[in-house]
Amino acid sequence: MKKRWPIAGLTILLSVMLAISGCGSSNNDGAPEQGTGGKQEQPGEKVKEFEMSLRHTFINEADQSRVAMLNDVIQEVEKQVPGLKIVTEGVDVVVNRSTKLKAEFAAGTPPKMFYNFGGSDTENYAKTGHLLDLTPIVEELGLKDKIQDFSEFTVDGKIYGIPDNGYIEGFFYNKKIFEELNLTPPTTWEEFLAMCETLKSNGYTPLALGAAEAWSINMIPTNFAATLGGADFFRGLKTGETKWTDPEMVEAFKRVKELLDKGYYTENTLGFKHSEAQAQFSSGKAAIIFDGTWGLNTYANKDRSVVANDLGFFKVPNFGGKGDNTINASFSTGYAFSSHLDDNEMEAVKAFIKEYYQEKWQKRQLLESNRFPSMVLTDTEGVEPIIKEVSDAAQGMATFPAFDALVQPKIKTDLEAGMQQVVGNKTSVEKMLENMQSFQERENNKE
């Protein structure tokens, strides 16, 4: 298996972005000095009008600031490219990732511009020939050294997407509740269990969870597994170096089942979506939620969260395993493009990339959506304190990407179905993982 990328130094970069420095762009707003915009209309020349599709996944209320920013970017791009009209489409992220894009790439008809995941998604789409190789454009626009990390969008040395934000996963907690009960963030599994019991016995839901969307619950055991097995634990599934039945994997999933059996998660969790679990935490009904920093768009927003002024963060506690002092952090989502573009559409793609990937838009995204920029910022004035707290928690840690960036897409959906059965007490952890190993071997044999 091709080694995806060692993201050593990512947490340093995430911290560096929080310090005002002389790094980054060479002009005031961070726009690359190199590059080209759209074609300029010549006197007397009739403009040829054309439309391009752009699909995003920003459909939740918490994402409307991202939609507003995207629309502002589009207005600027349309001014630069005569005749261009960009038509946007918002699609649920799970539907887009698991259904629509797969079908469209199989048919050879992906959207012209679209929001995409790196890792295995990008690998599979690149193999079809329908995904645009951005390597020459990235070099032409001078972005190679301005984007913090391209590795999840790089396949066989070619760049097929440009990340627009990064994330760190861990436990967000309500400091007010912790102070009330004299609790401190746990550093061991035993302390974690004691913390949950104290919260439950005092009438709080310790851990918000919406298992109706199984990707949500699978964040937790896969992070536990990496903490027990090491930062490279999930990289070995495709080669057989790691198995779903390995002791570290079994222990990780059994610990999550223990939390379920003790009643530490949201009651009837299979009836709630992840957004509803986020609401339980942001309303103060639950003391803790495991999430990525994308959730800060809700938790740190004073209009949508009563915990915005009392928001804290801690990483997965050390378990005494190979992955102690590791954290899940990556740059795994961003924009990608169809390879089927005519000359006008190619100019529009270049203009979009040149406009979108500027420091002014990255700074706005950070301030309005609390999304970690994919570009190192030279100005961080006004950034919420929780951003620095999260970055400090990751400082000095080895990092690893989400497990689904390292396995086949079918494995992701198999695990979701299996874990929902575990949550519903329809099967045991051991049986579910035995099935997962069979599914993994099936997928590996296809490659």
- What's the pLDDT tens digit per position in 191-233? 999 999 999 999 999 999 999 998 999 999 999 999 999 999 9
Question: 113-117 and 50-56 as β-strands: parallel, antiparallel, unpaired?
Answer: parallel
Judge contact between 162 and 357, C-beta under 8 A: yes
Q: In this model, does residue 122 exceed pLDDT 80?
A: yes
Q: How many CB atoms lie within 10 A of CB 247?
A: 10
- Structure token pair of residue 84: 């261009």
Thinking of the domain 169-328+398-446, which architecture would CATH place it in? 3-Layer(aba) Sandwich (3.40)
CA nearest neighbour of 214 among 165, 171, 253, 166: 253
Thinking of the domain 13-167+331-392, which architecture would CATH place it in? 3-Layer(aba) Sandwich (3.40)
pLDDT at 42: 57
**Could you tell me the pLDDT band of residue 44, with boundaries at 50, 70 and 90?**
low
- What's the pLDDT tens digit per position in 52-66? 999 999 999 889 999
Q: In this model, does residue 236 exceed pLDDT 90?
A: yes
pLDDT at 33: 37
Amino acid letter, residue 355? E
In 93-160, the DSSP E strands lie at 113-117, 154-155, 158-159
Average pLDDT over residues 118-136: 97
Residues of the chain with CATH 3.40.190.10: 13-167+331-392, 169-328+398-446
CA nearest neighbour of 88 among 44, 54, 111: 54
Judge contact between 401 and 429, C-beta under 8 A: no
Judge contact between 404 and 119, C-beta under 8 A: yes
